[in-house]
Structure 1
């Protein structure tokens, strides 16, 4: 059984500026990790820099920062800064992200996502070790980059990975894999691709509520928004949900968002969203761990029976 129990920061009901006290409380509750995200809210690094000061005992990780929204050198500088603030406690999570985030929101180019992630991983390994890097990779070229101050302890690097090719890259060349939107049973399928020696991290969306119908109604909107993204659609095809999700995909392609949301089956919501009272939720999270998940990273979502702050406390491993 894992000793890791992570929390997503900042919390969904408050700004980063209002998160200090609750972040500082995490180690005392038994949480070992705090993981950021980067979509269209906070960036992936600033919350971790603050948490390094607010809760010095926590391991800190980014889940994830995209490899195509920053240049390789800037990514290395940001990672080196966090590694200096939290020596031995920072884990850099990187991933391909999506066309919407990279191209539509950040004016980048979402091309060869697997190769770009692989090349960035290889560059970062060398740069964060203090090497001067001049290399023509498949997806970019770096000429003479060297960190002004390499971290004393180079951070571990983990990859966002959903399907076999990226999962195998994570196992072969990175220090772990981060996945998302999966059930406890799905963990076994993912674990089989990476073997036993690779850390597997997953963000788990949790709603502490005994009103299952209310949770399902809310969660269907979240799931329709995510599972129609091509990488997640392919992931769930691979996991065996292609047929059950077909009506959702057909409605989405037809432009009928309301019908797409309605077409997400209850069984999919119940598989992918942890819900129930706090004890039921903790037991469900343990199922993920029992099936091979090393680091659950909880993301309490609003709309439950209790506040996010109370959910953070009641979902803790020491509760």
Structure 2
């Protein structure tokens, strides 16, 4: 698929969420109904968070007819590349190439196998190229943050899906990727007009990620310092990585990411209960942005 076609297919706005993983049979109906609704609302992609495997995209693809479903992201430490290629081939063929393979190196604290992540990603991508048939470069994206991984995303994939980033990082990523590659950052959203409460919700969510050096090191490259990572994040940090408040505030923040070079923004709705499916918020955002 040509890169311009992928950008057109995926659109300008998507949803990033781990709560649509349907491994729990008791939630399967609720999950598939939500996926159907995202498709109907006009979002361009569902980014399935939480290190999903390819098979976990199948219920969402079965429940939809148009929307792209992406792994956001599949950890390269969890499966052998030959198995990923086989799963990709089977699922993609069954659902009109609506599967997008998002790949990442995850975090050292989360896997005992973590070693030389850049070299490991290069080797994983090479193995996908050598599979029979290969996973096309234009159907895979990388969770790229730093310069080397962004360059790898530019040369060996369709582009980048960076997580926990700012508009300033988006501008740097666009420069590194060039004009053709897909750039689809995540943007966290708290829809709450009470600013104090919105920031409490944001900090409760963000604290877990500020314990991961991959993210804090990237944020330091953008000018943040250790005090910004304390107690769930400084106000300055929250203002950069979240859209807080009203739908209009979200629209404004999304525009800054698009203006910085994002082709597509994956909205990550954050609530006080991160196990709930935030369908009302997805409706509100669709009305504001689509």
Class of the TM-score when normalised by the shorter of the 2 chains: 0.7 to 0.9
Question: How many angstroms does 1:266 deviate by?
Answer: 0.7
Q: Which residue of 1 aligns with 2:282?
A: 312
Q: Which residue of 2 aligns with 1:261?
A: 231
Q: How many residues align?
A: 274
In the TM superposition, what whole-angstrom CA distance separates every residue of 1:23-64 from its partner, at most 9, and x where no partner exists?
A: 11122212111111234xxx3434421111111111111111
User: Larger Cα Rg: Structure 1 or Structure 2?
Assistant: 1
In the TM superposition, what whole-angstrom CA distance separates every residue of 1:110-136 from its partner, at most 9, and x where no partner exists?
A: 111101111111111221535xxxxxx
Q: Is the 8 A contact 2:74 2:103 kept in 1?
A: yes
Distance in 2, Cα, partners of 1:129 & 1:288:
36
SS in 2 for 1:88: coil
In the TM superposition, what whole-angstrom CA distance separates every residue of 1:148-194 from its partner, at most 9, and x where no partner exists?
A: xxx8x887111111000000110011111110112223311221111
Task: Label 1:44 to 1:282 Cα distance change in 2 as closer, same or farther (>3 A).
Answer: farther
Question: How many angstroms does 1:84 deviate by?
Answer: 1.8
Q: 1 or 2, which has the higher helix percentage?
A: 2
Q: Is the 8 A contact 1:7 1:298 kept in 2?
A: yes
Q: Which residue of 1 aligns with 2:272?
A: 303
Task: Label 1:189 to 1:125 Cα distance change in 2 as closer, same or farther (>3 A).
Answer: same
SS in 1 for 2:111: helix
Q: Which residue of 2 aligns with 1:95?
A: 104
Q: Which residue of 1 aligns with 2:16?
A: 8
Question: How many angstroms does 1:9 deviate by?
Answer: 4.2
In the TM superposition, what whole-angstrom CA distance separates every residue of 1:86-115 from its partner, at most 9, and x where no partner exists?
A: 222211111111112222xxxxx1111101
SS in 2 for 1:162: coil
Question: How many angstroms does 1:12 deviate by?
Answer: 7.4
User: Unpaired runs of 5+ in structure 2?
Assistant: 1-6
In the TM superposition, what whole-angstrom CA distance separates every residue of 1:256-281 from its partner, at most 9, and x where no partner exists?
A: xxxx316x211111111111112321
TM-score, scaled to structure 1: 0.78
Question: How many angstroms does 1:220 deviate by?
Answer: 1.9
TM-score, scaled to structure 2: 0.85
Distance in 1, Cα, partners of 2:76 & 2:178:
25
Distance in 2, Cα, partners of 1:159 & 1:6:
17
